[in-house]
Amino acid sequence: QGQLVESGGGSVQAGGSLRLSCAPTERTYTSACMAWFRQTPGSEREVVATWHSGRRFTTYADSVKGRFTISKDDAQNSLDLQMNGLKPEDTGMYYCAAGCRGNYGNGRGAAEYVYWGQGTQVTVSS
């Protein structure tokens, strides 16, 4: 329960688009809070976008606002991340997170989530 699988990563040139998707291996698993994070070697995992069902709003890192869109597909039970206008600095391993820990606050911290996927690599070349 709670295991997540990401898909949709790849290599694109700057200005291109990718769509990431995250789905639970247990198809009936749902979580009120989910998010996308990314990480580069030597850096901490940073939030990209968050989604919360109860609060009914999404948040974005300043660096991706206006370019990325997070959405929940209830029919597929997946969390998607549409990434447009990609930049080389968007390169990294992208992780899906779910499961609100007891310390869940604004959802922008990695420690606020219980479950994680294995990640999908996104590489943007200039």
pLDDT value for 1? 54
What CA–CA distance (Å, rounded) separates 64 from 57? 16
pLDDT value for 69? 97
Residue showing tokens 């995992």: 45
Residue showing tokens 């769509």: 19
Backbone angles phi, psi at 88, to 5 degrees: -55, -35
Assess contact for 25 and 7: CB atoms under 8 A: no
pLDDT value for 28? 84
| Residue 122 structure tokens | 């996104």
Strand, helix or coil at 33? strand
Per-residue model confidence as pLDDT tens digits over 3-48: 899 999 999 999 999 999 999 998 888 898 999 999 999 999 999 9
| Residue 101 structure tokens | 């820990």
Per-residue model confidence as pLDDT tens digits over 81-118: 999 999 999 999 999 999 988 888 889 999 999 999 99
pLDDT value for 23? 95
